[in-house]
């Protein structure tokens, strides 16, 4: 089962910042937070990941609380093409076994024109 | 760089028939995954390969599903016989190695079992 909790859906106006929350209160010290998104009829796409520091790349920013029990994905200037299902996933970063991703139901983000 | 290729994109079969899906990962990627995504849910891992060996198949219904990755490149996922509940999108993903941060997903094969 997924170790994260996300709201099922959110709306955001085009051009505004989209802030997607994720709760992962049982996260372990060696687990990272990963974000993927899935645009309709496509496979999931990696966005960003982090351990405890805030991270930023060309797609988004990831803010992780100090206690690591929750995080927020920020799309700074949302466009219509950002409409997708966003998945927050926790997983260890290294190990000797399998590393498949455990997806929940995610958040369906709808960008309104 | 070419992405993960999958075929066919769509398949409709009757229950109790068999079906096979093909995946060609990104060149040089050692790790290959098959996920099943039922409508309204997130993808669920079925099987993971490292080169041509199985790393994890704990969620693969082995009485009807099988997968292989001969020569450590292409992979085939087979269902025989299919059930109505197998209707789903089957996603293939690959990564350079285990525990890298990014898995690259193909477009998926949408299977409808009638």
Give residue-wise pLDDT tens across range A5-48: 999 999 999 999 999 999 999 999 999 999 999 999 999 999 99
Q: How far is CA A56 from CA A20, A49, B9, B28, B29, in A?
A: 15, 9, 34, 28, 26
Cβ-contact A57, A48 below 8 angstroms: yes
| The predicted structure's pLDDT at residue B71 | 87
CA distance B72 to B75: 8
| The predicted structure's pLDDT at residue A97 | 79
CB contacts, 8 Å: B107 with chain A: 41-43
Angle at A42 between CA A39 and CA A43, to 5 degrees: 105
| The predicted structure's pLDDT at residue A41 | 93
Give B84's pLDDT tier (boundaries 50, 70, 90): very high
| The predicted structure's pLDDT at residue A92 | 85
In the block, which residue shows the tokens 């009757």?
A: B14
CA distance B38 to B27: 28
Give residue-wise pLDDT tens across range B20-78: 999 999 999 999 999 999 999 999 999 999 998 999 999 999 999 999 998 889 999 99
DSSP letter at B76 equals E
Q: State which residue of chain A sits closest to B108, comparing Cα positions.
A: A43
CB contacts, 8 Å: B98 with chain A: 95, 98-99
Q: How far is CA B44 from CA A21, A71, B25, in A?
A: 22, 23, 18
Whether B101 and A97 lie within 8 Å, measured CB to CB = no
Quick one: tokens of B27? 């060149």
CB contacts, 8 Å: B31 with chain A: 99
Q: Which of B48, B106, B107 sits opposite A100 (nearest CB)?
A: B48
User: Could you tell me where the DSSP H helices lie in B1-106?
Assistant: none
């Amino acid at each position: 089962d997924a170790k994260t909790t996300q709201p099922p859906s959110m709306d955001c106006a085009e051009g505004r910042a989209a802030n997607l929350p994720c709760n992962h209160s049982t996260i372990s010290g060696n687990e990272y937070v990963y974000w993927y998104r899935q645009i309709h009829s496509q496979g999931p796409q990696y966005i960003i990941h982090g351990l405890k520091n805030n991270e930023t790349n060309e797609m988004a920013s990831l803010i992780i609380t100090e206690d690591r029990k929750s995080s927020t994905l920020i799309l700074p200037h949302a466009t219509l093409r950002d409409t997708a299902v966003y998945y927050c996933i926790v997983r260890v970063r290294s190990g000797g076994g399998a590393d498949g991703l455990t997806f929940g139901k995610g958040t369906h983000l709808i960008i309104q024109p | 760089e070419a992405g993960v290729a999958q075929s066919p994109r769509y398949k409709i079969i009757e229950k109790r028939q068999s079906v096979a899906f093909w995946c060609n990962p990104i060149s040089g990627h050692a790790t290959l995954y098959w996920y099943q995504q039922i409508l309204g849910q997130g993808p669920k891992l079925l099987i993971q390969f490292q080169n041509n060996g199985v790393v994890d198949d704990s969620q693969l219904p082995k009485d009807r599903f099988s997968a292989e990755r001969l020569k450590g490149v292409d992979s085939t996922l087979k269902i025989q016989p299919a059930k109505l509940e197998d209707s789903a999108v089957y996603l293939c993903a690959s990564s350079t190695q285990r525990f890298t941060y990014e898995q690259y997903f193909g477009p998926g094969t949408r299977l409808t079992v009638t």
